[in-house]
Amino acid sequence: MSNDALQALIGSWFPEPEADKLQCSTEGSQYLTISLDPAYLSGLMERLKSSPETQFDYLFCLTGVDWGKELGVVYHLESTTHRHILVVKVQTADREEPCFDSVSHLWPTANFHEREVFDFFGIRFRNHPNLKKLFLTDEWEGYPLRKDYTDEVNMIVK
């Protein structure tokens, strides 16, 4: 399925008043990129995986991102049946309590990816089966991959 056909199909899943919650683009990328309101993440991801037209059965990358004012997650999905790839992005301006729905029930590999994002960015995932630190110790304070993070302990004084 081409990026244009994929975009049209996914766009048809959103009723007209809610279509503004979904932004599609291929600018600067060979893959179709969908940016959407986090409230629609769970429903869209379930449909992307289960729909016979899309069958996104492989989550090959899940990454946390600090865009400065917003924190977000970027998902890279592939259909091994149809051989198409899609990028899905969500973001929140809530830097104190960032939270998105977990997709680990759809793609088990998301379990560890979401734990890594939680560990390094402080982004929580609703309904995650075991959301706890993966790499950092329990004593670690802060989120080292956020742009506003400073490591007071290991700073070099000149």
> Which domain CATH number covers 111?
3.30.460.80
With beta carbons less than 8 A apart as the criterion, state whether 125 and 101 touch: yes
Q: Provide the 3-class DSSP secondary structure of residue 71.
A: strand
- Quote the domain boundaries for residue 62: 3-126
Domain membership flag for residue 153: no
Domain membership flag for residue 144: no
The per-residue pLDDT string of the chain (158 residues; one tens digit each, 9 = 90 and over) reads: 888 899 999 989 887 655 566 777 777 778 899 999 999 999 999 999 999 999 999 999 999 999 999 999 999 999 999 999 999 999 999 999 999 999 999 999 999 999 999 999 999 999 999 999 999 999 999 999 999 998 776 655 54
Domain membership flag for residue 155: no
Interior angle at CA 81, CA 109 and CA 79, nearest 5: 45
Domain membership flag for residue 76: yes
Domain membership flag for residue 7: yes
Domain membership flag for residue 9: yes
Query: Domains in the chain: how many in total?
Result: 1
pTM listed for this prediction? 0.90
Domain membership flag for residue 143: no
Domain membership flag for residue 55: yes
